[in-house]
């Protein structure tokens, strides 16, 4: 099973070093708008980091008219940028907003996990980003939910005693 980037939103401080690092590694250019990871500041405070989820059934793959997007055997979504015509079909259909158009080169880009060693994970100063298996991420989310339920107090109005 492939590993993906797990994002702990509570640890993200919004510094955007992950975006800067991604841009430097992938393009060598400045500008956060085509980073393959995005940090958005929320109106109510806090931040949310977004990147490709390498979906089990990726709609970006089926939407691509030129078959420039494939899902590798390891589950990673890969793009052949030489086939991309910049039509933005994949940008439009991505439910996570994780695909962006590099307007300088007129190609769509998204996270490819940097061949298994994502630079954004290495550069994150708070440890908000980690490389983990989807199974591990799911287990951590269940543990977090259980802890929140337990902390909400003993009055849960249980139907079964």
Query: Among 156, 104, 85, 120, which residue's Cα sits nearest to residue 5?
Result: 120
Pairwise CA distance, residues 146 & 82, whole Å? 47
Tell me the per-residue pLDDT of 43-82, one tens digit each, with 9 for 90 and over: 888 888 889 989 989 999 999 999 999 999 989 999 999 9
Pairwise CA distance, residues 11 & 127, whole Å? 7
Domain 1-52+121-154 and domain 54-110, same fold? Reply is yes
Q: Is the per-residue pLDDT at 158 higher than 50?
A: no
Residues 123 and 4: beta-carbon distance below 8 Å: no
Could you tell me the residue ranges of all domains in the chain?
1-52+121-154, 54-110
Say whether domain 1-52+121-154 belongs to CATH 3.30.70.20.
yes
CATH architecture of 54-110: 2-Layer Sandwich (3.30)
Contacts of 1 (CB under 8 A, 6+ apart): 75, 133, 134, 135
Q: Is the per-residue pLDDT at 160 higher than 60?
A: no
Pairwise CA distance, residues 35 & 12, whole Å? 17
Higher pLDDT: 146 or 83? It is: 83
> How many of the other CB atoms lie within 10 Å of CB of 9?
11
Tell me the per-residue pLDDT of 91-144, one tens digit each, with 9 for 90 and over: 999 999 999 999 999 999 999 999 889 999 999 999 999 998 877 766 665 565
Confidence of residue 3 (pLDDT cuts 50, 70, 90): confident
């Amino acid at each position: 099973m492939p590993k993906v980037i797990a994002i702990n939103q509570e640890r993200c401080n919004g510094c955007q070093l992950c975006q800067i690092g991604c841009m430097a590694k992938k393009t060598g250019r400045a500008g956060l708008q085509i980073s393959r990871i995005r940090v958005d500041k929320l109106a109510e405070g806090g931040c949310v980091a977004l990147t490709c989820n390498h979906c089990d059934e990726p709609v970006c793959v089926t939407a691509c008219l030129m078959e420039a997007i494939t899902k590798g055997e390891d589950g990673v979504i890969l793009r052949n940028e030489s086939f991309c015509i910049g039509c933005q079909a994949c940008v439009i259909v991505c439910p996570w907003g994780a695909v962006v158009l590099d307007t300088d080169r007129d190609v769509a880009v998204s996270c490819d996990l940097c061949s298994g060693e994502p630079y954004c994970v290495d550069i994150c100063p708070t440890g908000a980003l980690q490389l983990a298996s989807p199974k591990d991420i799911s287990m951590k989310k269940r543990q977090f939910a259980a802890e929140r339920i337990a902390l909400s107090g003993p009055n849960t109005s249980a139907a079964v005693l």
